[in-house]
Structure formats: C-alpha cells, structure tokens
Amino acid sequence: MPAAKKPPAKPAQAVSTDPADDPRALDRHIGSTVHGLRMQCRLTITDLARLSGLSPGMLSKIENGQVSASLDSLRTLARALGVGIAELMQDFESAAGEVQYVPKAGGLEVIRRGTKKGHTYHLLYSNRGPHKPFEPFLVTLTDESEVFPAFKHEGLEFLHILEGRIQYRHGNQIFMLGPGDSLTFDGKVPHGPEQLVKLPIVMLAVMVYTANA
C-alpha cells in the first residue's frame, strides 16, 4: 500500500497584532509597565503588595497580564509606584510601531526608467509620508540581451545577491558578484549592471535616502 501523502504545508500568514483585535493587549501592556516600574523602584512583589494593599498573588497576575485590574486597583498601584495612573497605559497605541508585511511575490511591481523586458522590481516597503527613509526592492533579471542605462539617485544603495552572477559597475569600478555577495555604494555615482553572467539573477536592492533627499 503506498504511503499516505502529507498535505502541503500552508504558507505562513501574518498574525494581527493590532491592539483593537486583542482584548488582552492592554492588560499585558499595563502588566509589563507595572513590572518595569517595580524593578526601577527595586521593590519585590511583597514590597509592592504592602504599599498598595493588593495581594502578592493579584500583583503577579496583573504583571503577567492574566487579569484586568479594576480602576481602583490601578489607581492604588500607580500611587504606590509614584506615578500617575495614565503612565501605566502610556504608549499603548504605539507600542507595536509601524509594520508592513509582504508575502512572497506580493510586492508592488515597479517599472524603473530604462528597464525593459526580463527586468522586474518588486517594492517590499512603501512609505506614504513626504520623505522616504528607504526603499527595498526584490530585483529579478532574466534577459541577458538587455542593455542597462546608468542609474543615479540620492542616498546610499545596498545590493545583496541571492541567485545568479552579475558584473556590476559603480563609477569606474566593476565588481563580480555572486550569491551571498553584497555591495554598498553612493547612489549619486553612475551605476548599474555591466554584464549578466549567470541567469536568472535575483538580488535585494535597498536604497537609503537622507532626510532632505
């Protein structure tokens, strides 16, 4: 009897970390803040229990985000720690920071000046503000007959070769790059592929801009 085939693995998916989607997120944030303040004050759980009038067991549950503390308990805790009650919830909305998830082959395809067939850029991060701090691209080159223009732009550029081999020019220098090789350079100096040695070529290109670029 042939062996049973295992079902194909499901692709990894981003798990939501939006506080609005997690009813216990605020409890954990408050618990972490209480723990941090207690450690700053060099207090044990027993010390804080004595100062606040809460039991050590309840304090442990609060610090571990296992319970939703009442407003009275939070007010008592804040007073015992020498802070305002608002400080226990400070930075809750921004605790996760900005994050963008791009699945495999999910980046926005971008057409760059001078590029033709067999040359694709997939943008892996997009900033909607007035200034772009950086732009990461997954670049794929598949047409050895393509002629490349010299690129110039503000800021620094970082290349990391994932697959294939390429001769890459920066100013008057030519570098032979293969899998695992990296190159970082000033984007204002003319640069670009000189020769596609082994196709396909897949590389990560990150352009880092200055604040006023």
Ordered structural domains, the chain, with CATH: 19-88 (1.10.260.40), 108-208 (2.60.120.10)
Element (H, E) at 122: strand 119-123
State pLDDT tens for residues 128-170.
555 678 889 999 998 877 777 788 888 999 999 999 999 999 9
> 124, 122, 100, 102: which is closest to 111 by C-alpha?
122
- Asked whether the bond before 200 is cis by omega within 30 degrees of 0, the reply is yes
Q: Tell me the pLDDT band of 3, cut-offs 50, 70 and 90.
A: very low
Map residue 44 onto helix, strand or coil. coil
Taking the CA atoms of the chain, what radius of gyration do you get in angstroms?
27
List the helix and strand counts (H, then E) for the chain.
Answer: 4, 7
Q: How far is CA 181 from CA 57, 74, 159, in A?
A: 54, 54, 8
For β-strands 156-170 and 191-208, DSSP reports them as antiparallel
Quickly count: other Cβ atoms within 10 Å of residue 199's Cβ: 16
* Residue with the larger pLDDT of the pair 5 and 105: 105
For the segment 4-10, the average pLDDT, to the nearest whole number, is 42
pTM metric for this prediction: 0.53
Residues 6+ apart with CB under 8 A from 105: 122
Above 60 in pLDDT, residue 13?
no
Q: How far from the centroid of its chain's Cα atoms is residue 24's Cα?
A: 23
Amino acid at 4: A
Map residue 136 onto helix, strand or coil. strand
Q: How far apart are CA 157 and CA 163, in angstroms?
A: 19
Torsion of CA 24, 27, 28, 31, to 10 degrees: -160
Map residue 160 onto helix, strand or coil. strand
Tokens of residue 30, six digits: 């408050």
> 202, 167, 160, 206: which is closest to 182 by C-alpha?
160
First to last CA, the chain: 66
For the segment 19-31, the average pLDDT, to the nearest whole number, is 74
Tokens of residue 184, six digits: 């970082």
